[in-house]
Amino acid sequence: MEQPVALQKRLPAIDAIRGIIMVLMTLDHASHVFNAGRYVTDSARWYVPGSVIPVAQFLTRWITHICAPTFIFLAGLVLAQSVARRQAGGESVASIDTFLLKRGIFILLLDPLWMSLAFREGIILQVLYAIGGSFCFMILLRRIGDRTLLAIGLALFLFGSLFVGLALRAGGGQTPGVFGALFITGGRLSKNVYVLYPLLPWLAYMILGWVFGRHMLLRAGDHPIRLSLIGGGLSLAVFCAVRGLNQYGNMGLFRDNLSFLQWLHVSKYPPSLSFAGLELGLMFFLLALLLLFYQKRSPSATNPLLVFGRTPLFFYLIHVHLLTASAYLFGMHRKGGLAETFLATIIELIILYPLCRWYFRFKKTHSESLLRYV
């Protein structure tokens, strides 16, 4: 396997795109706790074909779809850089594996033990379960050559619908047991335990991020920008083909007609090929834009997007709890609308800004503590 020849410094473009994701994620979760009219039909299980789609509510939800794919993709990208940095520092293979295992299990357990307390709807395995589980998988997968690993990631994208169909058929159309729900389809495990992010479909995003991160280390100059533009174009081409044919790759959530909203109405639970093509395409173009923007500009330490993007896990671990607590405190839990949702988002970001700045400085001075896992 080719080893990185040069290590990159911290890239402001990566922090900036993570900051954008944090802002959009806050909007989505503010809608979850404040918005009585929240519209969530991004699964064939939840949508009645022919139903009227409320434009404003739908778009408020849709613009946040980019969050999870980007969050997991960037986790893989940063992981590739982190592992390369450790290797360059002489750290042993066993030590790196141990770190990945500990951090993966730590992140995975945050969903059932911490984040589920904020959502107050039982134990829900969401994006941190997918990221933590993917970290554990990368202990073995990182030993595979980049081209082979890329092929594995693309296979998970391309044949995901087949895997889901086979798993559901084995379960008689219902949640196919604990293994199937955890790894393939998602679904209810028991009365109060749910899997929203089955591991294998979302592992594909981390694999792609890892391979992309490896190429950023191996190639300098404008290469990451060109690669992002190529990736964006190919991804959107896949989306247009799959959504246009309206058959395989849509996870059963088909277009009712040719309207713009129906084109965007793709399945996130579980993630379809059309969902992956659309969101990765948008993410790649956004990444290319930010890489180009920061080529000749020095990042500002006070830029809110960079502040949030430098502390993504810390941000994530407290923002839903603050939103939920404030919604109950002011008697507004799922009693407002879009105006209250956007207002709550702005206030939340204002509160989190100084907290994230403080945490970034604190973590830098305590780099050997347990905080290195957050």
Q: How confident is the model at residue 6 (pLDDT cuts 50, 70, 90)?
A: very low
Which pLDDT belongs to residue 195?
Answer: 96
The secondary structure of 5-41 as a DSSP string is SSPPPPPHHHHHHHHHHHHHHHHHHHHHHHBTT----
pLDDT surpassing 90 at residue 135: yes
- In the three-class reduction of DSSP (H, G, I as helix; E, B as strand; rest coil), residue 143 is classed as coil
Which residue has better confidence, 169 or 17? 17
Question: What's residue 1's pLDDT?
Answer: 54
pLDDT at site 5? 44
pLDDT digits (tens, 9 = 90+) for 183-227: 999 999 988 999 999 999 999 999 999 999 998 877 655 688 999
**Quick one: average pLDDT of 277-286?**
98
Element (H, E) at 123: strand 123-125
Helix (H) or strand (E) holding 187: strand 187-190
Average pLDDT over residues 238-261: 97
- Whether 176 has a pLDDT exceeding 90, the answer reads no
Residue 341 has pLDDT above 80, yes or no: yes
What value does the mean pLDDT take over residues 17-27? 98
- Predicted confidence (pLDDT) per residue in 32-90, tens digit: 999 999 999 999 999 999 999 999 999 999 999 999 999 999 999 999 999 999 998 99
**Among residues of the chain, what percentage have pLDDT more than 70?**
93
Q: Which two tokens stand for residue 55?
A: 């434009």
- The angle that helices 273-293 and 146-158 make with each other, rounded to 10 degrees, is 130
Instruction: Give first-to-last CA distance, the chain, whole Å.
Output: 30
pLDDT tens, position by position, 343-359:
999 999 999 999 999 99
**Structure confidence at residue 111 (pLDDT):** 97
Of 150-154, 162-166, 220-224, highest mean pLDDT: 150-154
Burial class (CB in 10 A: 0-12, 13-18, 19+), 285: middle
Domain boundaries, the chain: 12-373
Q: What are the residue ranges of helices labelled H in 63-181?
A: 67-88, 93-110, 116-119, 127-141, 146-158, 160-170, 177-180
